[in-house]
Amino acid sequence: MKTDQIAQLEPSESTGRIEAFSDGIFGVAITLLALEIGVEEYKGATDANLLTHIYELMPKYIAYINSFATVLLMWLAHHQMFRLIKKPSNGLMLANGLLLLVIALVPFPTKTVGQFIDTDAKGIAVKFYTGYFLLVNFVFLLLWTIASSKSKPLLHAFASTEIVKAVNRSILTGLLINFICFGLSFINPWLGVTTNIISWLYWMVAF
Amino acid sequence: MKTDQIAQLEPSESTGRIEAFSDGIFGVAITLLALEIGVEEYKGATDANLLTHIYELMPKYIAYINSFATVLLMWLAHHQMFRLIKKPSNGLMLANGLLLLVIALVPFPTKTVGQFIDTDAKGIAVKFYTGYFLLVNFVFLLLWTIASSKSKPLLHAFASTEIVKAVNRSILTGLLINFICFGLSFINPWLGVTTNIISWLYWMVAF
Amino acid sequence: MKTDQIAQLEPSESTGRIEAFSDGIFGVAITLLALEIGVEEYKGATDANLLTHIYELMPKYIAYINSFATVLLMWLAHHQMFRLIKKPSNGLMLANGLLLLVIALVPFPTKTVGQFIDTDAKGIAVKFYTGYFLLVNFVFLLLWTIASSKSKPLLHAFASTEIVKAVNRSILTGLLINFICFGLSFINPWLGVTTNIISWLYWMVAF
Amino acid sequence: MKTDQIAQLEPSESTGRIEAFSDGIFGVAITLLALEIGVEEYKGATDANLLTHIYELMPKYIAYINSFATVLLMWLAHHQMFRLIKKPSNGLMLANGLLLLVIALVPFPTKTVGQFIDTDAKGIAVKFYTGYFLLVNFVFLLLWTIASSKSKPLLHAFASTEIVKAVNRSILTGLLINFICFGLSFINPWLGVTTNIISWLYWMVAF
């Protein structure tokens, strides 16, 4: 479809519907994380062994909480980023589409780490998990790089150089933290996960 | 991201997008409750044994209806609470995020009670279920405590001391009822569940 | 929460957020219908036997299309009903909640009929399916009865007696058709399903 | 319900709620695509064999990315099409409903191709997949044919003949590309999939 032609006719079209669509995908992805958690039906259930089964899911709870918190922070960052964006370009739409693609797949590394962190495969499970969030952060950086590029003025006038730099710093800090988590998971899987949890606790307080 | 800086630039930003995002998670979580309910395909199906299978799911129907009603009431309470809130603070956003985290996980205790209430594990299943809703109520209390704290004026001017007190009473009553349900489930599992059902029937009429 | 008190403070609050929330549940429920459809992975797959497997899912396709069309028509009816409603009452909210509860569970009778219509359990499967939609129609009638009751003026001024009567007729016709489908499924399961399909095809054309 | 009567009373009712509902279904369907991807829990997990398992899911990743990109492009096209539409007719609503029905079912051909492309059933799997998107394109053509028909003026005044022709060309090009993908999958399954991927990469750049 000749986007440009149509876009010229209705210049007032802002980022509203993209934000709503993105919110929908963030919201469904974050809720689907919970689907993995449950105790399968089994014969001979007693209070004692059901309690054990509920306790044994601990790695899944941690993975769930960690992914939920991370996606929620990303939604907040996405939300604030789009408040600075005046109008979408095609490149921005595509980068946003790529972000949604990786966000929608967060349940995959989450269930992988939840299932395998208490097995001998914990090394790969955690590297995959922390590496995946590193990838998500790179896509975030790509999105912001397109949004804030000087050649195409996509930002609102109130997005001063100072604000753009603050957002840059914030994204690069996020990338660095994720890179450290990824690196630490090569030394010790639990270290990688623990650093990940500490990192979003820090973000939430520093926010 | 420097929230405060950005927030100052667009003070008109209200709670709209948070509410929409929260509604999305409430809506998806409540709909996913139904996913657990179904009769697996099996060999030698006849009218008689299919009917039996449909009947045998009764504990799951009760758990579904009970959780659906509870989450729906919580959505209504969340809806009314946010009508009193003028603007979100970071603390409010985080407390709301924590609420969404526990709401999205409601399918887990729901399917646990639905699967195990007719087994010898009914004691733990019901304690887990009623205890989980007690936890959700505590998060609700936390959210409202942050929203209504006097040091940060987050509420609309029309939210008079009288209204704030009415909401306080309403949340504390909810907590008390859930605490009673939790307590009764230590005496008898069915008593805990029945009280839970009676409680939201009461809320709906008293509403 | 003291709804009435709060409601008085913000009388302009209309049905917007309830409609959005209802739309969300209709939308998720209708999309989850598709989750049941799939060919399980199996050993020794060839073009010929995969084609057979895809063909063998025919009852599930029919059940999916039938439920999708029915829920979509109900969403349209819900949409039009709420255009006539000025403001929600507590009773209306609860009836709407009940409607959402039964709509969210539509995947259950849908997968039941899809799985068992080609077995000896087809009788119960179809009675359950057509009976379930009869139930949904009753809840719709309840919702409209509350919305259009003369004692509480919930409708817009432009909802004349003539329009109210037209909606009444439309809902009662829906109920009658569903009752016939339910009745016919006692004579012959396929007759019940076929009538069901014909009925929404008719609605769509007559719409 | 007497749509015409009600519609006359509120002529201002535009396509807003239909778009929001459609967005919801597009969003949930696109997010559910990710649900199929995961490594099942298994005994004797080690770093080496988990890595192998993650690699072996490659066909599913490709299918996921391909379907995600395709549905996202369709959402964009849907979005732009509805910007040209002033008000919905019943026929348009039904064609849109049919589109949502086929969009919601995209996870089915997606998981079929992901599961069977590395088996001897790859021929049927790919034909089914590419053929399914051909079907979706036909429904898109139907929707636009109804929207742009001259007898019923559903389009905004700014939708000039030139714009309508541009949209026509764009949809017919899409159809042609999908037809080629479908045709090539008869020669070689991998050729069909590769062309499919190239086609949306092209669309994204040409967009």
Q: Which of D171, D180, D174, D182 is nearest to D200 (CA)?
A: D174
Q: Is A177:A200 a contact under the CB 8 Å cutoff?
A: no
pLDDT at B205: 72
D12 Cβ neighbours under 8 A, 6+ residues apart: none
* Contacts D58 to A, Cβ<8 Å: none
| CB of A111 less than 8 A from some CB of D | yes
In sequence order, what are the beta bridge partners of D120?
Answer: C46
Q: Inform me whether the pLDDT recorded for D6 exceeds 90.
A: no
- Report chain B residues whose CB lies below 8 A from the CB of A143: none
According to the model, what pLDDT value does residue C7 have? 42
Comparing CA positions, the residue from C77, C87, C68 lying closest to residue C14 is C87
CA–centroid distance for D4 within its chain? 31
Confidence class for position D166, pLDDT limits 50, 70, 90: confident
Assign residue D44 a region (left: φ > 0; alpha: ψ between -120 and 50; beta: otherwise): left
Which residue among B32, B35, B101 places its CB closest to the CB of A65?
A: B101
Cβ C104–B163 below 8 Å, yes or no? no
The answer to whether D153 faces chain C, any CB pair under 8 Å, is no
Residue A93 to chain B, least CA–CA distance (Å)? 20
Residue D3 placed within a domain:
no
Residue D1 carries which DSSP code?
Answer: -
Partner A contacted by D54 (CB < 8 A): yes
Give the residue among D25, B74, D97 at the shortest CA–CA distance from C97: B74
CA distance between the termini of chain C: 41
Token code pair at residue C182: 């339910």
DSSP letter, residue D57: T
3-class DSSP state of D46: strand
Number of B/C CB contacts below 8 angstroms equals 108
Average pLDDT over residues D146-158: 81
- Name the residue of chain B whose CA is nearest to A81's CA: B1
Secondary structure letter of residue D34 according to DSSP: G
Across the interface, whether the CB atoms of B1 and A77 are under 8 A apart is answered: yes
Tell me what pLDDT residue D13 has: 54
Summarised one tens digit per residue, pLDDT across range C151-191 is 667 888 878 888 888 888 888 988 999 999 999 999 999 99
What's the confidence (pLDDT) of residue B207?
55
In a domain, D6, yes or no: no
Interface of C with B in 74-103 (CB under 8 A): 90, 93-94, 97, 100-101
Judged on CB neighbours under 10 Å (0-12, 13-18, 19+), C55 is: exposed
Residue C6 pLDDT more than 60? no
Determine the average pLDDT of the residues in D62-75: 92
Structure pTM? 0.89
CA distance A26 to chain D (A): 9
* A4 falls within a domain: no
Contact with chain B for residue A54, Cβ under 8 A: yes
Q: Are A101 and D200 in contact (CB under 8 A)?
A: no
Q: Which residue of A has its CA nearest to B108?
A: A38
Say whether residue A157 is in contact with chain B using an 8 A CB cutoff. Answer: no
For residue B131, which residues of chain A lie inside 8 Å, CB to CB?
A: none
Confirm if D1 and C63 have CB atoms less than 8 A apart: no
Angstrom distance (rounded) from CA A21 to CA A7 = 19
More confident residue, A80 or B11: A80
Q: Is residue A2 part of a domain?
A: no
Residue C163's pLDDT is what?
Answer: 87
- Number of domains forming the structure of chain D: 1
Q: List the subunits that have 3+ CB pairs under 8 angstroms with D.
A: A, C
Average pLDDT over residues D155-179: 87
Q: What is the dihedral of CA D42, D48, D53, D56, to 10 degrees?
A: -160
DSSP C112-176: HHHHHTTSBTHHHHHHHHHHHHHHHHHHHHHHHHHHT-SSS--B-TT--HHHHHHHHHHHHHHHH
**B10 to chain C, closest Cα gap in Å:** 24
Indicate the angle between helix axes D47-56 and A107-116, nearest 10 degrees: 160
Is the minimum CB–CB distance between D167 and chain A shorter than 8 Å?
Answer: yes
pLDDT digits over C185-199, tens only?
999 999 988 988 888
DSSP states of chain A = --HHHHHHH-TT--SHHHHHHHHHHHHHHHHHGGGG--PPP-TT-BHHHHHHHHHHTHHHHHHHHHHHHHHHHHHHHHHHHHHHB-S--HHHHHHHHHHHHHHHTTHHHHHHHHHHTTSBTHHHHHHHHHHHHHHHHHHHHHHHHHHT-SSS--B-TT--HHHHHHHHHHHHHHHHHHHHHHHHHHH-HHHHHHHHHHHHHHHHHH-
Query: Given this model, what pLDDT does residue D159 score?
Result: 80
Q: What is the pLDDT of residues A39-70, one digit of tens each?
A: 988 999 999 999 999 999 999 999 999 999 99
Tell me whether residues B9 and A45 touch, CB distance under 8 A.
Answer: no
Contact A21 D23 (CB under 8 A): yes
**B20 found inside a domain:** yes
In a domain, B1, yes or no: no
Q: What is the per-residue pLDDT for D207?
A: 55
Indicate yes or no: CB of A24 within 8 angstroms of CB of B24. yes
- Is the per-residue pLDDT at D67 higher than 90? yes
Whether C207 shows a pLDDT value over 80: the answer reads: no
Separation in Å, CA of B109 to nearest CA in chain C:
18
CB–CB contact A34 B32 (8 Å)? yes
| 3-state class percentages of chain C: helix first, strand second, coil last, to nearest 5 | 80, 0, 20
A13 confidence band (pLDDT: 50, 70, 90): low
Task: Give the pLDDT mean for C9-35.
Answer: 79
User: Which of D37, D68, D170 lies nearest to residue A1, judging by beta carbons?
Assistant: D170
Predicted confidence at residue C76, as pLDDT, reads: 87
Average pLDDT, chain D: 86
Contact predicate C100/C22, CB 8 Å? yes
Residues of chain B with pLDDT under 70: 1-14, 151-152, 206-207
Contacts across the A-B interface (CB distance below 8 Å): 109
Question: Any idea which of B27-41, D77-91, D126-140 has the lowest mean pLDDT?
Answer: D77-91
C53 touches chain B (CB under 8 A): no
pLDDT higher than 60, residue D23: yes
Asked whether the beta carbons of residue B2 and residue A64 sit closer than 8 angstroms, the reply is no
Cβ–Cβ below 8 Å for A32 and D35: yes
How many whole angstroms separate alpha carbon D112 and alpha carbon D116?
6
Is D30 an 8 Å CB contact of chain A? Answer: yes
CB A87 within 8 A of CB A16: no
- Interface A-D: count of C-beta contacts within 8 A: 109
| Chain D neighbors of C75, CB-CB under 8 A | 21
Listed range (A184-193, C84-93, C94-103) with the worst mean pLDDT? C84-93
Burial per residue of D73-93, b for 16 or more beta-carbon CB atoms within 10 angstroms, e otherwise: bbbbbbbbbbbbbebbbbbbb
Cα–Cα distances in angstroms (integers) from residue D84 to residues B61, D91, D152, D157, in the given order = 45, 16, 14, 9
In the beta sheet, which residues pair with residue B75? none
Across the interface, of C19, C23, C49, the residue whose CB is closest to D24 is C23
8 Å CB contact of D116 and C54: no
What pLDDT is attached to residue C15? 77
- Token pair in block for residue D183: 């045709």
Look at B80 and C13 and tell me if their CB atoms are within 8 Å: no
Residues of the domain holding C76 = 11-206
* Contact status of B106 with chain C (Cβ, < 8 Å): no
* Residues paired with B181 in a beta bridge: none
**Using a CB-CB distance cutoff of 8 angstroms, which residues of chain B are in contact with residue A50?**
112, 116, 121, 124-125
More confident residue, C45 or A6: C45
Specify whether the CB–CB gap between C22 and C74 falls below 8 A.
no
Asked if residue B2 is part of any domain, the answer here is: no
The contacts of residue B184 (CB under 8 Å, 6+ apart) are B130, B191, B192, B195
Number of CB atoms found within 10 A of residue A169's CB: 12
**ipTM, interface predicted TM-score of the complex:** 0.86
CB B63 within 8 A of CB B192: no
pLDDT over 50 at C61, yes or no: yes
| Chain B neighbours, 3+ Cβ pairs < 8 A | A, C
> Is it the case that residue C117 has pLDDT exceeding 70?
yes
B58 touches chain A (CB under 8 A): no
Q: Do the chains contact at B115 and A35, CB–CB below 8 Å?
A: no
Tell me what the pLDDT averaged over chain B comes to.
Answer: 86
Residue A83 neighbours by CB distance under 10 Å: 19
Averaged over D105-117, what is the pLDDT?
A: 94
The answer to whether residue A155 is domain-embedded is yes
* Average pLDDT for C31-41: 91
Which residue among A47, A84, A162 sits closest to B124, beta carbon to beta carbon? A47
Tell whether C172 is within 8 A of chain D (Cβ).
Answer: no
Among B3, B20, B116, the residue with its CB nearest the CB of A207 is: B3
